[in-house]
Amino acid sequence: MKNYKHDGSCTVCNEIRDGFVCLHHLKSRGSGGSDDSYNLLPLCHWCHVTVHNIGLVSFAKKHESVKSFLLRNNWELCSGKWIHQANNEEVLNGKK
């Protein structure tokens, strides 16, 4: 898990803690995920820990704002995976 400085606020709770939010890679860099904005979800430290604990699929189910971020960025939920429509990237559960 890596922290990036970012001037936005957390997608889930709108908080900025310690002056920065993390940019969570929806598709992890380890599996070839890019640094493009569609793949980066701005989260505060605590929400970031949570997405790593429960995985993206459950996280998006719990938080409407995360789901709308994904849909806005061309991700679509197909049989338990988030699939990026333009780039054909997929996130199975996003657990790491």
Cβ atoms 11, 69 nearer than 8 A: yes
**Whole-number Å distance between alpha carbons of 16 and 61:** 22
Residues 55-94 that bind Zn ion (CB under 5 A): none
Phi, psi at 25, each rounded to 5°: -75, 115
For Zn ion, the closer CB: 55 or 77: 55
40 binds Zn ion (CB under 5 A): no
Please identify, among the stretches 19-27, 30-38, 54-62, 82-90, the one whose residues bind Zn ion according to the rule CB under 5 A.
Answer: 19-27
Structure tokens at 72: 């806005």
What residue ranges bind Zn ion (CB under 5 A)?
Answer: 1, 10, 12-13, 24, 44, 47
